[in-house]
Amino acid sequence: MLRMRVPALLVLLFCFRGSAGPSPHFLQQPEDLVVLLGEEARLPCALGAYWGLVQWTKSGLALGGQRDLPGWSRYWISGNAANGQHDLHIRPVELEDEASYECQATQAGLRSRPAQLHVLVPPEAPQVLGGPSVSLVAGVPANLTCRSRGDARPTPELLWFRDGVLLDGTTFHQTLLKEGTPGSVESTLTLTPFSHDDGATFVCRARSQALPSGRDTAITLSLQYPPEVTLSASPHTVQEGEKVIFLCQATAQPPVTGYRWAKGGSPVLGARGPRLEVVADASFLTEPVSCEVSNAVGSANRSTALDVLFGPILQAKPEPVSVDVGEDASFSCAWRGNPLPRVTWTRRGGAQVLGSGATLHLPSVGPEDAGDYVCRAEPGLSGLGGGAAEARLTVNAPPVVTALHSAPAFLRGPARLQCLVFASPAPDAVVWSWDEGFLEAGSQGRFLVETFPAPESRGGLGPGLISVLHISGTQESDFSRSFNCSARNRLGEGGAQASLGRRDLLPTVRIVAGVAAATTTLLMVITGVALCCWRHSKASASFSEQKNLMRIPGSSDGSSSRGPEEEETGSREDRGPIVHTDHSDLVLEEEGTLETKDPTNGYYKVRGVSPPASPDSCVTSFQWKSPGISNLP
């Protein structure tokens, strides 16, 4: 009953005061407030012209009218009540304090507008799955996951940074609890790491309105990556035949397990380790050297080609060309070298340069252009390589016929005429013709034709043929007529005339007779000289015999006279061949013996000389005419 009267009295008091002065009113009303968990919240409330009871409500629940708000240990009202100041304080703020608050002047029936108190919960430091060191494989796409857990309000935003730079390409994901309140929040960063990312630091930041600066969690990438290879050659530019060292350097995680070398795709047998030494040749210019390095994660390959300086090497020879007269002709050849060789074209046997480069073009060729053409490359800087290659130009034209020299023939004897034929294409036939006939092959009367290949060909004019016309039993008319040798092919006809020379018999007879006469004269001279010498030798022998017979009787010491040869014999022996005494009968007996025996044992006869004679003797004349016989002293 008492409680019902109090409000009525208050209303009467209010009415009474209203009639006496200004009515109660709010000087300041509470507003929505955001406050961090654990901090202090202050909701202001000020009244004018009111000195009655003031109380606060929380979501419609009255907190009480006393200043210390018993039962609410973290709540109190501050300010000068006499001045109408009634501020609500909450410290420390907790999640349960989040509600709608009103300031009420109960005796005046005044209520402030509701003020919503929002409690913010700062996010905790996020968690990166696999941290603080995350192991990845270089070159393989991977995800980094950052997760924020707890009761953070509002839901935090997760950001990724590297070196202070915000990264794009993140995916945001939020998980809701069954009650509908936010739960864990995840952010995924997709990246493809490379070897240079090894040891890199990535930062995941959780930030919200409750903590604008955010909280960070850093992780370090630990990468496993296949080898990164650097291949070098020293020196890179070399002369053919010089040594080159290849060095294969690699960084890898885990460490390198093996090296493999190859050249032009083919393994280099016996090559192991990071170093390879070779002798450079031309093939290294087009066949690179490669080094493959492996580890547990994978392998990597690098290759390099050397700049090898080498002389020209012929790659493609010029091919023979056959064209019709008046058409164009061209040759081509290919030389390889470093630096590129200078290629020139000449004609075999000539020094004039007809062109340069890989192709030689000859417009509207004629028979005079037929021949061998030379493609030449000069040696390189090293003096090695180079050379020449040639090909033949055959100009298809009418046959070229040349009459060959033929020996003169005797009348009624055999004769032979020849012609030489060059033609491309080969002639259909070679025909001999004369006044009353012609013959291609075989025999006809006194005439026979033979055709056979020429031992040598004339460059570019096609194969050669020799055609021979045999004539048996020549007649007078054969020496006065002309014989024609002709040949034809698809491009035309060519021919040449030949005539038969005559040889007379008279000069030969004269020569034979002269030789016979000279021979006879020589034989007669030799015979006469021989007879003369023989007779003179006989007479000298008889004279010597008679002289010896005359001197023996007058010799008191028993010695005898001797000729020159006998003196020589006497010098070698104690006595001469004949010793005479004073008995004449012994001398007479020896006379016959001296006529039949040569006291010099044939010396003078063999030598062709006699005992000393007069200068005009036959022997002296014979010795002078016969230098092959030596004169005796």
413 and 389 belong to one structural domain? no
Residue 553 resides in a domain = no
Q: CATH number for the domain including 223?
A: 2.60.40.10
410 and 420 in contact (C-beta within 8 Å)?
Answer: no
Chain mean position to CA 454: 44
38 and 185 belong to one structural domain? no
209 and 131 belong to one structural domain? yes
- 3-class DSSP state for residue 553? coil
Q: Evaluate if residue 69 carries a pLDDT over 50.
A: yes
156 and 237 belong to one structural domain? yes
Among the three residues 441, 476, 499, which one is the final residue of a domain in this structure?
499
Whole-angstrom distance, CA of residue 627 vs CA of residue 605: 17
Residue 519 resides in a domain = no
154 and 252 belong to one structural domain? yes
160 and 216 belong to one structural domain? yes
pLDDT digits (tens, 9 = 90+) for 491-538: 889 999 999 999 886 655 566 667 788 888 888 888 888 888 877 676
Q: Evaluate if residue 163 carries a pLDDT over 90.
A: no
Whole-angstrom distance, CA of residue 209 vs CA of residue 36: 10
pLDDT digits (tens, 9 = 90+) for 282-299: 889 889 999 999 999 889
437 and 481 belong to one structural domain? yes
352 and 461 belong to one structural domain? no
Chain mean position to CA 587: 116
Of residues 304 and 138, the one with the higher pLDDT is 304
Residue 589 resides in a domain = no
Chain mean position to CA 150: 70
Domain extent for 435:
405-499
What is the pLDDT at residue 182? 56
Residue 157 resides in a domain = yes
What is the pLDDT at residue 620? 37
Domain count, the chain: 4
Q: Evaluate if residue 631 carries a pLDDT over 50.
A: no
Q: Evaluate if residue 629 carries a pLDDT over 80.
A: no
| SS3 per residue for 298-346 | CEEEEEECCEEEEEEEEEECCCCEEEECCCCEEEECEEEEECCCCEEEE
Give me the amino acid identity at 263: K
Residue 506 resides in a domain = no
- 3-class DSSP state for residue 526? helix
What is the pLDDT at residue 505? 67
Give me the amino acid identity at 537: S
Largest Cα–Cα separation, the chain = 239
Residue 625 resides in a domain = no
216 and 131 in contact (C-beta within 8 Å)?
Answer: no
Q: Evaluate if residue 596 carries a pLDDT over 80.
A: no
Model's pTM, two decimal places? 0.46
116 and 219 belong to one structural domain? no
Whole-angstrom distance, CA of residue 543 vs CA of residue 540: 5
Residue 591 resides in a domain = no
Over range 320-344, report the average pLDDT: 91
User: Between vectors from CA 134 to CA 130 and to CA 140, what angle results, nearest 5°?
Assistant: 115
What is the pLDDT at residue 378? 84
Residue 18 resides in a domain = no
pLDDT digits (tens, 9 = 90+) for 375-433: 999 876 666 777 899 999 999 889 889 998 888 999 989 999 999 998 888 888 899 99
Whole-angstrom distance, CA of residue 137 vs CA of residue 223: 5
Among the three residues 305, 333, 351, which one is the final residue of a domain in this structure?
305
The partner residues of 104 in beta bridges, in order of sequence, read 55, 111
- 3-class DSSP state for residue 550? helix
220 and 360 belong to one structural domain? no
E strands, 500-550, in order: none
DSSP state of 586: H
Greatest mean pLDDT among 277-281, 337-341, 562-566 = 277-281
Q: Which residues contact 238 (CB under 8 A, 6 or more apart)?
A: 244, 280, 306, 307, 308, 309
What is the pLDDT at residue 565? 39
pLDDT digits (tens, 9 = 90+) for 529-570: 888 887 767 655 554 444 443 343 333 343 333 343 333 333
| SS3 per residue for 297-310 | CCEEEEEECCEEEE
163 and 281 belong to one structural domain? yes
131 and 248 belong to one structural domain? yes
Among the three residues 277, 305, 333, which one is the final residue of a domain in this structure?
305
Give the sign of the dihedral formed by CA 566, CA 572, CA 574, CA 577. negative
pLDDT digits (tens, 9 = 90+) for 112-148: 999 999 999 898 899 999 989 999 988 889 999 998 8
Radius of gyration of the chain (CA): 72
* 27 CB neighbour count, 10 Å cutoff: 14
